């Protein structure tokens, strides 16, 4: 336990205080969460002020639901002596300092259903195929009043080399979905030395030089920020395409715009950006060979339904005195169980799920 974070040895509340934020995109999941927690007799708060202005609420919260656009600074984690868990409805937990949360004995839950993986993987493959076949440029020709522009020819994906930078759950799902296309798959991932799914692990520089398609599937860390900069883009084959459905700050966007506008790269599909919403002055908006989506390429009806179910499952477990079912920081489990296990207020014998 970090000595800077004094926390009581055993916390047994008479009832939980659960903070649930507002979010337009995740409204359905969050509404269900509020209803479920209230039906179990617990207190729900939905603070509208920044966390720094919560006052003594910070010291009262037992469970905090956090969205990808939310935040809970380290300084507040140190003050939140009752906080047992921070739960994300989504698979990503980027706004949170997970290392500090783990040191503080806080269980981090997230939404990790199969739909989170395969919705994004399907969208990635769709974007890859769209780039190879120059769908956006062909649509532009049509919308401009022309027909069958002979110079706008696509390329088949079959038989090409696809480089996956990052080989976690989504990267592996992309490789799985690409198998029928008969592509050669290269993988660059510091955690992978012997890639499966008929993929070959190589250094990033080799992957960039050899791939017709580069697709990014890395989390954002200090080491991965600006992973693909001007020098890395220069290593790519002339006419190659790049897809980023992972984290915006992985790519130097100005360098990418230069490569696209110079015609050195065949195209790019970008669903995530260093600054969101994408600024009006972004040069990527003026790249004819770019497909840009507003960080929702993988959003599906099935995904939103599954995220709601995952959030309810996580909260249900926490209200019953157990760690969240979809636990992100597994290393906290033993410490958490000793401090919070079964320390659940007995307000209701069942919880409406």
Residues 319/37, Cβ–Cβ less than 8 Å: yes
Q: Please say if the pLDDT value at position 351 is more than 50.
A: no
Mean pLDDT of 291-304: 97
Mean pLDDT of 112-131: 97
In sequence order, the 6+-apart residues with CB closer than 8 A to the CB of 76 are 51, 52, 54, 58
Q: In angstroms, rounded to a whole number, what is the distance separating the alpha carbons of residues 232 and 227?
A: 8
Q: Would you please indicate which residues are annotated as catalytic (active-site) residues?
A: 247, 276, 295
Q: What is the mean pLDDT of the chain?
A: 92
pLDDT, tens digit (0-9, with 9 covering 90-100), for 203-245: 999 999 999 999 999 999 899 999 999 999 999 999 999 999 9
Q: What structural domains and CATH numbers belong to the chain? A: 17-112+301-340 (3.40.50.720), 114-292 (3.40.50.720)
Q: Please say if the pLDDT value at position 2 is more than 60.
A: no
* pTM of the model as a whole: 0.88
pLDDT, tens digit (0-9, with 9 covering 90-100), for 90-111: 999 989 999 999 999 999 999 9
- Give me the phi and psi of 50, to 5 degrees please: -60, 150
Q: Please say if the pLDDT value at position 188 is more than 90.
A: yes
Q: Please say if the pLDDT value at position 113 is more than 60.
A: yes
């Amino acid at each position: 336990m970090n000595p800077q974070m004094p926390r009581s040895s055993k916390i047994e509340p008479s009832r939980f205080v659960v903070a649930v934020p507002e979010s337009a995109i995740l409204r359905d999941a969050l509404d269900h969460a509020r209803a479920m927690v209230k039906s179990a007799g617990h207190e729900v708060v939905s603070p509208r002020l920044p966390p720094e202005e919560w006052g003594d609420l910070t010291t009262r919260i037992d469970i905090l639901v956090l969205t990808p656009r939310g935040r809970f600074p380290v300084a507040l984690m140190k003050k939140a002596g009752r906080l047992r868990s921070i739960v994300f409805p989504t698979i990503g937990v980027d706004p949170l300092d997970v290392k500090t949360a783990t040191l503080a004995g806080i269980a981090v839950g997230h939404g990790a259903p199969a739909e989170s993986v395969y919705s994004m993987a399907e969208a990635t493959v769709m974007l890859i195929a769209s780039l190879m076949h120059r769908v956006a440029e062909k649509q532009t020709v049509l919308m401009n009043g022309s027909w069958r522009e002979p110079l706008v020819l696509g390329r088949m994906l079959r038989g090409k080399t696809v480089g996956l930078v990052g080989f976690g759950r989504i990267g592996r799902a992309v490789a799985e979905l690409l198998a029928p296309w008969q592509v050669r798959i290269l993988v660059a991932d510091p955690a992978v030395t012997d890639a499966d799914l008929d993929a070959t692990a190589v250094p990033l520089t080799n992957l960039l030089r050899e791939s017709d398609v580069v697709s990014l599937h890395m989390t954002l860390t200090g080491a991965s920020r600006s992973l693909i900069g001007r020098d890395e883009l220069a290593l790519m084959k002339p006419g190659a395409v790049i897809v980023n459905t992972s984290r915006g700050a992985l790519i130097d966007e100005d360098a990418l715009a230069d490569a696209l506008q110079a015609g050195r790269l065949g195209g790019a599909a970008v669903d995530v950006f260093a600054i969101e919403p994408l600024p009006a002055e972004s040069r990527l908006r003026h790249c004819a060979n770019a497909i840009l989506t507003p960080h929702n390429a993988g959003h599906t009806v099935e995904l939103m339904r599954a995220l709601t179910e995952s959030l309810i499952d996580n909260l249900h477990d926490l209200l019953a005195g157990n760690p969240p079912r979809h636990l992100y920081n597994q290393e906290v489990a033993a410490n958490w169980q000793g401090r919070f296990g079964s320390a659940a207020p007995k307000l209701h014998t069942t919880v409406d799920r």
